[in-house]
């Protein structure tokens, strides 16, 4: 199948799987749904890369067990050369959750276990899940900014300080999406266990993975890392991961009361749940200039409004640089808006946060 003429409104999908049966079965599921169409199919990783270049699909479904270039390497190449939502559809995930983490770290938008038995190749049971996730992924890609503003984006790997932060950060809010799991596994272990501030993290991730991801990070870090709980009071030296499928905010009922986490589902206008914007706006409302925000690798623009709120309140704002991002989308938008105090490679973000709090303690 080639893409010569197609509907601008339809979500176009490339199906990559080494099994002819699977390519046909998945293609039939997709093509039978209104608003979806199959742009092409691919039988290997290298074939998928060629087809993406020639057909420019909105979404890719990708098997992990393919000859030649395997699924994870193919995924990394897609993120490097043709960033777009990739849904991993693989039996390997059902056998080994570590593979799912590797796929998410490499930039997968979501995943679907095939759950194929030894006696049956029937996969009709994944149909509803597949269609829902393709629609979500297609909508996600269409929120990506396509225009080029007049302001040149900051892409330097050196510190690009716009102004001095007047007060010490008392909280850090971090937002990440595509490539975020791997980036967080590099950033958080660099932070000391006696860090004087709490960290709140929104990482776009499939439902069911945030608790396991938090436990994984906790084993790697000196700080404590856990999935956030509703009404939980914030503690220094603890990183709270927003549960998938619900928004995380901070609240402070009165000036002299302790800040706590609120998990809410009432923000209907946000395309992402949880939303970096929702978290960071709440952090700016409660902490003002005493807040720090970090925007990391990811597609789209989630976090731009929230980081602007922190910036406008006088807080510290840090963007991951282009070279160290799996996808330079979310930080690029913030750089173009001119709301970043610093643009840093991933390897320097922890140092910047540590120095900001240490400097203010000495002061």
Nearest Cα to Cα of residue 110 among 140, 142, 82: 140
Catalytic residue among 17, 110, 204, 301: 204
Tally of CB atoms within 10 A around 98: 11
Element (H, E) at 48: helix 45-55
Catalytic residue among 90, 105, 177, 282: 177
Tally of CB atoms within 10 A around 164: 8
**Main-chain dihedrals φ then ψ at residue 202, nearest 5 degrees:** -110, 115
- For residue 274, say if its preceding peptide bond is cis, omega within 30 degrees of 0: yes
Q: Is 316 left (phi over 0), alpha (psi -120 to 50) or beta?
A: beta
Catalytic annotation present for 177:
yes
Catalytic residue among 17, 63, 302, 321: 302
Catalytic annotation present for 129:
no
Catalytic annotation present for 146:
no
Active site residues: 177, 204, 302
């Amino acid at each position: 199948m080639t893409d010569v003429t197609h509907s601008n409104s339809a979500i176009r999908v490339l199906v990559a799987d080494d099994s002819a049966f699977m390519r046909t079965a998945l293609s039939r599921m997709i093509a039978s749904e209104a608003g979806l169409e199959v742009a092409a199919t691919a039988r290997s990783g290298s074939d998928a890369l060629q087809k993406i270049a020639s057909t420019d699909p909105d979404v890719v479904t990708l098997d992990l067990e393919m000859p030649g270039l395997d699924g994870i390497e193919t995924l990394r190449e897609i993120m490097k050369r043709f960033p777009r939502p990739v849904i991993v559809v693989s039996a390997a995930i059902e056998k080994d959750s570590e593979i799912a983490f590797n796929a998410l770290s490499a930039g997968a938008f979501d995943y679907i276990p095939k759950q194929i038995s030894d006696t049956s190749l029937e996969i009709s049971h994944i149909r509803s899940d597949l269609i829902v996730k393709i629609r979500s992924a297609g909508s996600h890609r269409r929120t990506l900014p396509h225009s080029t503003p007049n302001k040149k984006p900051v892409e330097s790997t050196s510190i690009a300080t716009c102004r001095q932060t007047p007060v010490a950060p008392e909280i850090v809010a971090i937002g990440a999406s595509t490539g975020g799991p791997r980036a967080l596994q590099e950033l958080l272990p660099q932070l000391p266990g006696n860090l004087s501030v709490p960290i709140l993290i929104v990482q776009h991730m499939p439902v069911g993975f945030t608790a396991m991801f938090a436990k994984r990070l906790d084993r790697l870090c000196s700080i404590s890392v856990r999935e956030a709980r509703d009404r939980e009071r914030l503690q220094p030296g603890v990183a709270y991961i927003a549960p998938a499928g619900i928004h995380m905010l901070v609240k402070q009922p009165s000036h002299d009361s302790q800040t706590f986490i609120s998990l809410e589902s009432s923000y209907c206008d946000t395309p992402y749940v949880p939303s970096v914007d929702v978290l960071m706006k709440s952090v700016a409302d409660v902490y003002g200039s005493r807040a720090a925000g970090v925007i990391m690798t990811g597609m789209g623009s989630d976090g731009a409004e929230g980081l602007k709120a922190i910036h406008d309140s006088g807080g510290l704002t840090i963007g991951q640089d282009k070279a160290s991002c799996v996808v330079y989308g979310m930080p690029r938008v913030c750089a173009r808006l001119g709301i970043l105090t610093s643009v840093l490679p991933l390897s320097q973000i922890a140092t910047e946060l540590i120095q900001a709090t240490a400097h203010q303690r000495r002061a």
